[in-house]
Homo-oligomer: A and B are copies of this chain.
Amino acid sequence: MFYYYPNPGDSYYQPGFQSPPYPNHAWTISRLYYSNTAELREKQEPITFVLIHGSWADSSFWNGVAAFLRKKGHTVYAPEYAGHGADTTKNANHAMMTQSIVDFIEGNNLNQVVLVGHSFGGTLVQTVAQAVPDRIKRLVFFDAFILNDGEMLAEEFPPPVQAAFESLIQSSKDNSIMLPFPLFRENFTNLASLQQAQQFYRNVKPEPATPFHEKLDLKKFYSLTIPRSYLYLTEDNVLPFGSSQYGWHPHMSNRLGMYRFLQDSGDHFSTTLLDPGKIARRLYEAGRD
């Protein structure tokens, strides 16, 4: 009645593995061989990516990733948004930042977009998705915030971190938060060398603080049925690990309902800049149909 051992002719069976062209006892080698050649042969479905960076960054954060994605035939946009890059409006609020990206997507008449948000960019993915849901094919959150309806960003930080940020805001002249280098080095670029961390830090500018305290209306976001993915890097120490109240994964990712999950090694900031090929590959896997 039952068949008792695998039959190579059955479904599920990968024909390529049936008579492997490599000797016995060579599992790891064969795995490298197969994964690389599979990758070499792989035809990727062309995707239109819109990449939204996070705080203390600008759109150049995506340069390396975008270059790798374009090499694979994808169309990649990394729009800048209010209060960042060339725009130095320090009182930029969340609605202005959202509008920058909405204007960009509508202005370029983009459709079937895979919208990727990193870190704070996740909250913009939420609000942009509310604004132009019909133009978006999939949402990808990459070590990104996903706020509850009516929540403000500050609530996602433990009280001592909130207090530290308040103090930095007070000491600024323009309602901004400048990330201290030790925090940037230890928690954002923990896998980089000191020299690399210093190089990246030279591009860090004070972050507009207004969105830190804005409660977002996200009712519509939680009614959207756009498919969504979460990409988590395991050495990201910007939010607490293993807490039921805080953290990237599973605390944020759990808010997505049914979602596609991907995980890799990496820290919050430097892995994207130092290993852009890996991040590009995982964003493709997160973003494809």
Interface positions of A (Cβ within 8 A of B): 1-8, 10-14, 17-18, 20, 24-31, 34-36, 39-42, 45, 57-64, 66-68, 71-72, 76-82, 84-87, 100, 104, 182-183, 185-187, 190-191, 193-194, 199-200, 202-203, 227, 234-235, 237, 240-244, 249-251, 253-254, 258-265, 273-278, 280-281, 285, 288-289
Contacts and interface: CB of A to CB of B under 8 A. Distances in A.
Nearest to A251: B242
Contacts of A260: 185-187, 190, 237
A156 to B, nearest CB: 16
A285 to B, nearest CB: 7
Contact of A25 (B42, B66, B275): B42
B254 A240 contact: yes
A40 B27 CA distance: 8
Contacts of A277: 17, 27-28, 30-31, 34
28 contacts: A1-B87, A2-B82, A2-B104, A4-B78, A11-B60, A12-B61, A12-B64, A13-B63, A20-B67, A24-B71, A24-B72, A26-B39, A27-B39, A27-B68, A27-B277, A28-B277, A28-B281, A31-B275, A31-B277, A31-B278, A34-B275, A183-B258, A190-B262, A193-B288, A194-B289, A234-B263, A241-B254, A242-B251
A252 B269 CA distance: 24
Contacts of A235: 261-263
B2 A80 contact: yes
Which of A5, A249, A253, A262 has the most B CB atoms < 10 Å from its CB? A5
Counting every copy of the chain, the complex holds 3
A6 to B, nearest CB: 4
Nearest to A31: B277
Contacts of A24: 71-72
Contacts of A288: 193-194
Nearest to A262: B235
A227 B190 CA distance: 12
Contacts of A100: 2
Contact of A4 (B8, B72, B79, B202): B79
A263 B30 CA distance: 20
A119 to B, nearest CB: 14
Contacts of A71: 20, 24-25
B35 A39 contact: no
A58 B29 CA distance: 29
